[in-house]
Chains A and B, each alone.
Chain A
Amino acid sequence: MNRRRFISQTSLTSFATILGADIVFGNNLPKGYTPLALQDTDPFKLFDKDSGMSVLNNKPWNIEAKAHLLDDKVTPNKYMFIRNNGLIPENIDAKSWKLTIDGESVSKPKTYTLDELKSKFQHHTYQLTLECGGNGRSEFNPPAKGNQWTVGAVSCANWTGVRLKDVLQDVGFKENAVYIGYHAADIHLSRNPEKEPISRGVPMAKALQDETLLAFQMNGKDIPLVHGYPLRLIAGGWPASASGKWVNRLSIRDKVHDGAKMTGTSYRVPCEPVAPGEKVADEDMCIIESMPVKSLITYPKSGAIIKKGQALNIRGHAWAGELEVQSMEYSIDFGSTWHSCSLQKPANRLAWQNFSASINHFPKKGYYEVWARAKDSNGKSQPMLLPGWNPKGYLNNACHRIAIKVS
């Protein structure tokens, strides 16, 4: 390049930069110009999420869906909620990824590479419901601290991996084994390498279920980084925090695992019901296991205006933790009368079930709410009001409601 031309070009660039700054101050940002800082932190691009998702927190990243975004029978990545307790691991190399099984109750510690896990054990695919224990927290009163999830911290994707029980049986464990605790590559918010952001797990009975996986694929592709690439636990029907992401070590414990977020108020609720706002001692808190029965109306989106005489077709999903949903009902009169929805069987155990109904009996014009409630195979239904208050606002399975106007 000719030197003089170089100088004139850099000058122009500099002037443009300065003028650009001037324009920014005039609130007249040039079309198509995005400040670098924003490009770096756009979570929707970063995680390939739909722009309708709600960002609750950016350090750590926590993002939820809205009810109408969860209409797919199998949740695609773009509508899958993100729940992080720490920072996403950096510089992951799947080729050198290892999983170590250790703990007090392991026969002899053993380490597998990811390739060994994939080649040695049979692959299984299940559609599994993962719901954050704190989904619905925003409704509790007195309010509970933490990310204020509304309804969108739930998903049901297809997960492919090897059965945890196959791996555990290959390693061998003692009869006194009580719990599996996971350890992972995510980074504590303080960046203190001594601290784990989260290290939870499941009792042996859950670990040995057919559907409990060490998964490496989601919806037929490598798991997205933010959802646990290259290896994660999947324990469907339990608080999603039991399904550790970026797992590189599993400890077979001879007692209930006591890792980060297994104790105190984390993912625990009062063993006996308490009044709203009551203080609960640590020893009176019990670990959440199966999630309660719940459902979501995913179509139509709340706020639909229909004409008098027009039928309103609704649909959605229902799930019940370890159990199956036996029936599904809706009400358009604030719970005075209930009507049956048609309900499908789950794709497999621990997958959500699809329901639908056609409503054509709105008696007159006006404002309505459609309420939906599921009943599990033990005969328990969703409450219409908030269920029992607990210090961290877990397990809100109050019936979902959408607003409708008949004009």
Chain B
Amino acid sequence: MSFENRFKSQVETLYRKLIIGFSIILLCIFSLLYVILNPSVFERQPDKTDLVDIQEVEEDLIENGIHVATGFVDGDGLTEVIQNCTNCHSAKLVTQNRMSKEGWVATIRWMQETQNLWDLGNNEEIIVNYLATNYAPDKKGRRDILTDIDWYTLEE
């Protein structure tokens, strides 16, 4: 092996080691940051055996558009709703209510602030959309008021 080739291989080895080392350091920093930002990460998460129990009893049976085990309307987001909303309270607490999207978000915030509900992460949008679609206000009427009006001055 020529000097140049040996030098080349040494530099490449060093380069690789540097990259790996650097990546490990960054990974540690990110992990530390994550723990600092999410102090609850090591706290006990909801017991997973609860979920298994529910599925063992009724499985995923859907009848006439209703998830039999919970009484939830079948729809996009049902799984996320079951997993996140029925650990602490009955599904009936959900199904007897009717709320707008804002109403459901406010309810989730209230549960997070007072009832130890965890951060729903990416599931929040799915859950809120499911709820707002399937459990929307009953008395919407035959025509809604105009909302989200972006007021501006119209010059002549």
A residues with a Cβ closer than 8 A to B are: 3-4, 7, 10-11, 14-15, 18, 21-22, 25, 139, 141-143, 145, 300-306, 310-312, 369, 384-386, 398, 401-403, 405
Contact = CB atoms under 8 A, between A and B. Distances in A.
Nearest to B140: A141
B136 A143 contact: yes
Given A303-B150, A384-B143, A25 B30 contact: yes
Contact of A305 (B15, B19, B142, B152): B152
A386 B142 contact: yes
A139 B11 CA distance: 67
Given A22-B26, A401-B146, A403-B146, A143 B133 contact: yes
B109 interface: no
Contact of B156 (A305, A311, A386, A401): A311
A22 to B, nearest CB: 7
A25 B30 CA distance: 9
B26 A18 contact: yes
A22 B12 CA distance: 24
Interface residues of B, number: 27
Contacts of A15: 22
Nearest to B12: A7
A385 B143 contact: yes
A386 to B, nearest CB: 5
A263 to B, nearest CB: 19
Give the interface SS of chain A, mostly helix, strand, loop or mixed.
mixed
Interface of B: 8, 11-12, 15, 18-19, 22-23, 26, 30, 33, 75, 133, 136, 140-144, 146, 149-154, 156
Contact of B151 (A4, A312, A405): A405
A18 B133 CA distance: 42
Contacts of A10: 15
A403 B149 contact: yes
B138 to A, nearest CB: 9
A398 B141 CA distance: 14
Contacts of A145: 75, 133
Contacts of B154: 300, 304-306, 312
A139 B140 CA distance: 9
A403 B23 CA distance: 56
A386 B8 CA distance: 76
Contact of A3 (B8, B22, B33, B75): B8
A312 B150 CA distance: 17
A347 to B, nearest CB: 29
A398 B144 CA distance: 12
A303 B140 contact: no
B141 A141 contact: yes
A345 B77 CA distance: 48
Contacts of B19: 14
B109 to A, nearest CB: 22
A110 B98 CA distance: 57
A195 B156 CA distance: 55
A300 B156 CA distance: 11
Contacts of B141: 141
Given A18-B22, A139-B144, 19 more contacts: A3-B8, A11-B15, A15-B22, A18-B23, A25-B33, A142-B136, A143-B136, A302-B146, A303-B150, A304-B153, A305-B152, A305-B154, A306-B153, A311-B156, A385-B143, A398-B143, A401-B146, A402-B146, A405-B151
